[in-house]
Structure 1
Amino acid sequence: MKQSAPPLRRGWTTGSCATAAAKAAWLVLLGHEPPASVTITLPSGQDVAFSLCQYGGTPDAPCAAVIKDAGDDPDITHGAMIRCTVRALATGAGLVFKAGPGVGTITRPGLPLPPGEPAINPVPRAMIRTALTQANNGTLPDAEVTISIDHGQELAKRTLNARLGIVGGLSVLGTTGIVMPFSCSAWIQSIHRGIDVARAENLPHVLGATGNVSEKAGQALYDLPDMALIEMGDFAGGLLKYIRHHPVPRLSLAGGIAKMTKLGQGCLDLHSSRSRADMPALAQLAAQHGAPDTLPELIRTSPTVAEAFLLARSHNFPLGEVIAHAAWAVAHKTLNPAPVLLDILVFDRSGTLVGKADGPFTP
Structure 2
Amino acid sequence: MTPEEMIGRTLREGHTTGATAAGAMKAAILAIRGEFPKQVSVLSPQRKEIVIPVESASAEGTVGTATCIKDAGDDLDCTNGTPIVVTVELTDTKGMELKAGKGVGIVTRPGLQVKIGKPAINPGPQIMLRYVFEELIGKDKGCIVTISIPEGEELAKQTLNPAIGIKGGISVLGTTGIVKPMSEDAYKRSLAPQVPVVWADGYRTAVLCPGRIGENAAKIMGIPEGAIIETSNFIGFMMEQCIARGFEKMILVGHMGKLVKVASGSFHTYNRNSDGRMETMAAYAAANGASKEVVREILDCNTTDGAAIIIHREHLDMIYSQMAERAQVRSERYIFGKSRVGVIFAGMDGTIQAVSSHAKDILEEEGWNIH
Per the normalisation by structure 1, the TM-score is 0.87
CA contact (8 A) 1:257 1:346 kept: yes
- The runs of 5 or more residues in structure 2 that have no matched partner are 1-5, 360-371
Match of 1:66 in 2: 68
Q: Does the alignment pair 1:142 with 2:142?
A: yes
Match of 2:120 in 1: 119
Trace 1:339-358 onto structure 2 (pairs within 5 A): 340-358=339-357
Q: Secondary structure at the match of 2:254?
A: strand
- The runs of 5 or more residues in structure 1 that have no matched partner are none
Q: Secondary structure at the match of 1:26?
A: helix
Q: CA deviation at 1:186?
A: 4.5
CA contact (8 A) 2:210 2:254 kept: yes
In structure 1, distance between residues paired with 2:78 and 2:184: 15
CA contact (8 A) 1:132 1:141 kept: no
Q: Does the alignment pair 1:18 with 2:27?
A: no
Q: Deviations over 1:158-177 (max 9, x none)?
A: 32222222112111111222
Q: What letter matches 1:6 in structure 2?
A: R
Q: What letter matches 1:314 in structure 2?
A: R
In structure 1, distance between residues paired with 2:167 and 2:353: 36
Q: Does the alignment pair 1:107 with 2:108?
A: yes
Q: CA deviation at 1:296?
A: 4.3
Question: Per the alignment, do residues 349 and 291 of structure 1 end up closer, same or farther by CA in structure 2, a change over 3 Å counting?
Answer: farther
Q: CA deviation at 1:127?
A: 1.6
Q: Deviations over 1:243-277 (max 9, x none)?
A: 01013353221121221122222222211233222
1:76 counterpart (75, 78, 83): 78
Trace 1:145-224 onto structure 2 (pairs within 5 A): 145-221=145-221, 223-224=222-223
CA contact (8 A) 1:257 1:323 kept: no
2:290 counterpart (289, 292, 297): 292
Question: Per the alignment, do residues 358 and 71 of structure 1 end up closer, same or farther by CA in structure 2, a change over 3 Å counting?
Answer: farther
Q: Secondary structure at the match of 1:269?
A: coil
Question: Per the alignment, do residues 88 and 334 of structure 1 end up closer, same or farther by CA in structure 2, a change over 3 Å counting?
Answer: farther
Per the normalisation by structure 2, the TM-score is 0.85
In structure 1, distance between residues paired with 2:10 and 2:332: 38
Match of 2:253 in 1: 254
Question: Per the alignment, do residues 196 and 303 of structure 1 end up closer, same or farther by CA in structure 2, a change over 3 Å counting?
Answer: same
Question: Per the alignment, do residues 191 and 291 of structure 1 end up closer, same or farther by CA in structure 2, a change over 3 Å counting?
Answer: farther
In structure 1, distance between residues paired with 2:46 and 2:323: 44
In structure 1, distance between residues paired with 2:7 and 2:62: 53
Match of 1:266 in 2: 265
Question: Per the alignment, do residues 35 and 209 of structure 1 end up closer, same or farther by CA in structure 2, a change over 3 Å counting?
Answer: same
In structure 1, distance between residues paired with 2:299 and 2:7: 34
In structure 1, distance between residues paired with 2:322 and 2:257: 13
Trace 1:333-344 onto structure 2 (pairs within 5 A): 333-338=333-338, 340-344=339-343
Q: What letter matches 2:307 in structure 1?
A: A
Q: Secondary structure at the match of 1:79?
A: coil
What is the root-mean-square deviation of aligned Cα atoms in Å?
Answer: 2.6
Q: What letter matches 1:277 in structure 2?
A: G
In structure 2, distance between residues paired with 1:41 and 1:273: 38
In structure 2, distance between residues paired with 1:11 and 1:274: 27
Q: Secondary structure at the match of 2:197?
A: helix
Q: Deviations over 1:215-264 (max 9, x none)?
A: 1112211x123222222221212311100101335322112122112222
Question: Per the alignment, do residues 301 and 157 of structure 1 end up closer, same or farther by CA in structure 2, a change over 3 Å counting?
Answer: closer
Question: Per the alignment, do residues 135 and 334 of structure 1 end up closer, same or farther by CA in structure 2, a change over 3 Å counting?
Answer: farther
Trace 1:261-340 onto structure 2 (pairs within 5 A): 261-277=260-276, 279-288=278-287, 290-294=288-292, 295-317=294-316, 318-338=318-338, 340=339
Question: Per the alignment, do residues 176 and 277 of structure 1 end up closer, same or farther by CA in structure 2, a change over 3 Å counting?
Answer: farther
Q: Secondary structure at the match of 2:113?
A: coil
Q: Secondary structure at the match of 1:344?
A: strand
In structure 2, distance between residues paired with 1:270 and 1:284: 19
Q: Deviations over 1:132-182 (max 9, x none)?
A: 333458x69633221111122222233222222211211111122222223
Question: Per the alignment, do residues 239 and 314 of structure 1 end up closer, same or farther by CA in structure 2, a change over 3 Å counting?
Answer: same
